[in-house]
Amino acid sequence: MFCKVFFWASSFALAAVAVPAPGRCSGACGTHDPSLIRRVSDGTYFLFSTNGHVGVASAPSIAGPWTQRGAALPGPVKLPQGNDIWAPDVSLVGNTYHMYYAVSSFGSQNSAIGLATSTTLEPGSWTDHGSIGLSSTPGSPYNAIDPNLVKSGNSYYLNVGSFWGDIYQAQMSTDLTRPTNNPLNMIFNPIGSHSGEGSFAFQNGNYFYMFWSAGQCCGLNTNRPPPGGEYMIKVCRSNAVTGPYVDQNGVSCTAGGGTIVLQSHDNIYAPGGQGVINDPTHGPVLYYHYMNTNIGIGDGQTILGWNPLSFPNGWPVVESANSTPTTSRVVPTSNISSPSGAPMYGQWYVTLFPKEETLLTYWEVEVSDGLVLRPARREAAMFSTRIIPSVTKNIL
């Protein structure tokens, strides 16, 4: 039996052109180069930023309300390059939180990566271990800033880089205090000033996704580039954390490849400095800083943005965190036809199971057994159903 769902045509047209707004953020939402992590002991969210010797804020949810907590590293750090601390990257390894950070000056290759650890994430609890032995000087192939730790199997790798040769990667020692090899190039933008920085690697399924920022990050209020020249978020992927990485068109990401995930839209300007967190409510979430053009585009006016991610066709797409269905979309577990009655082709994939707490976005459909699926191509109404028994009740 076929069930015609007439709203799909207009919904898919909207999905193809509309860019979802960032999720709600309340409280102290100011941030630059954010690193977002959820404490395992109590579920508290911590936000680390480039400012004030690594500014720290905390909140009960990703939406806030955020409260400023002070500085993670209030004293001098053990690096000769200075105390201007940038781009913290915080992750949990075993029972200890590791924060890799960079020390540099704007536009310089006199840079180095340091490490601090804590068991609680709280300001004042961090022990600074100083340099990890990864630094750069003028003439180096990379700039040793914007660190990001990623795990593959039992091994850890550190991504670094900004402009010059862009993104490089080194395998880390078992105690995570030293690289074990010379960094290798992962991402290179051959155009212009070679803008590429702020990498963040995230595993989803069989792929590693390398998110990175391209374009101009700063000084936008005094030296605004042509549209498209400001910060934006791109992605490349690989079957292995060590690459090779390609974009959605198969172009090598050491030869200029890179698929845009999020760029300026509406009043959202210059999104970048991104990371991805697995959130218990929203699933994979892309977080980033951006400027609201209704407020201002000065360097001190960047704020936290976030959007859930889906992976249709194996590539990340930003979704709305605030969707409210306008009509019921619960349908029987049967084949579904197009508005004209012809069967639709393609495949479903599971977005969330069971669907209990969050509302459906407008390109999702919930079958009557509670399983939530969406089409493989959200911009085209082409799909067929899968039936997976469930006792989960419908919420719509």
**pLDDT value for 89:** 99
230 catalytic, yes or no? no
CB atoms within 10 A of CB 396: 11
Q: Which residue, among 279, 304, 278, has the nearest Cα to 290 in the 3D structure? A: 304
pLDDT given at position 387: 30
What ranges do the domains of the chain cover?
Answer: 1-21+322-396, 22-318
Write the pLDDT tens digit of every residue in 277-313.
999 999 999 999 999 999 999 999 999 999 999 999 9
Residue 348 makes CB contacts below 8 A (sequence gap 6+) with 373, 374, 375, 376, 383, 384, 385, 386
pLDDT at 4 over 70: no
Over residues 126-130, the mean pLDDT reads 97
Name the DSSP letter for residue 75: S
| Helix or strand holding residue 12 (H, E) | helix 8-17
Ramachandran angles phi, psi of 201, nearest 5°? -95, 135
Average pLDDT of the residues in 177-200: 95
CATH for the stretch 22-318: 2.115.10.20
Which of 342, 341, 339, 336 shows the shortest CA–CA distance to 375?
Answer: 336
197 catalytic per annotation: yes
pLDDT at position 353, please? 36
Angstrom distance (rounded) from CA 62 to CA 44: 9
As a whole number of angstroms, the distance between CA 238 and CA 83 comes to: 35
Single-letter residue type at 185: N
Report whether 345 contacts 384 (CB < 8 A): yes
292/176 Cα distance (integer angstroms): 38
Out of 89, 166, 197, 247, pick the active-site residue.
Answer: 197
Q: How confident is the model at residue 92 (pLDDT cuts 50, 70, 90)?
A: very high
